[in-house]
Amino acid sequence: MRHHLILRVVSKLLIPFILLYALYVQFHGDFGPGGGFQAGVIFAAAFVLYALIFGVQAARKAFPDSWLAILIPLGVLIFAGTGIASLLLGGTFLDYDVLASTPTGGQHLGILVVEFGVGVTVTAVMIAIFFAYAGRTHEIQDDDW
């Protein structure tokens, strides 16, 4: 891809805006359309584009595999941890009402944190799936069967 100058320049221009748009979809999700799933996929799309233009090796350097192994479980923990927090604060599991001083504030805060957890996991899983396929080698030999 080294000679595709236009692709490289345009994607370098686009990637920051894709990331920013993902963050908008993530954090505006409780007022408008959006949320963790959509934002996570958009965020990951930026890395997929980067990998397509600059190569999987460069993308792996930008987003190391060790981060993936931590971020995937971390998002789930943020989600479930919110549930446990509301449980410890006297509500039932995932009862956001108790998270802040007013029930409405609690619902806002709860959905924001939970969706952030979803976003983290979805981003990391999407990138992990892409890396797994893009980095695949022909390891299955004929005599393995």
Q: Is 55 among the residues that bind other proteins (CB under 8 A)? A: no
Q: Please count the other Cβ atoms lying within 10 Å of the Cβ belonging to residue 145.
A: 5
44 burial (CB, 10 Å; 0-12 / 13-18 / 19+) is buried
Q: Is 29 among the residues that bind other proteins (CB under 8 A)? A: no
Distance CA 138, CA 79 (A): 37
Q: Is 111 among the residues that bind other proteins (CB under 8 A)? A: no
Q: Determine the interface stretch with other proteins among 26-34, 50-58, 71-79, 129-137 (rule: CB under 8 A).
A: 71-79
Q: Is 70 among the residues that bind other proteins (CB under 8 A)? A: yes
Identify which of 63, 81, 75 has the alpha carbon closest to the alpha carbon of residue 115: 75
For other proteins, the closer of residues 38 and 86 by Cβ is: 86
Residues at the site binding other proteins, with contacts judged by CB under 8 A: 69-70, 72-74, 76-77, 80-81, 83-84, 87, 90-97, 144-145
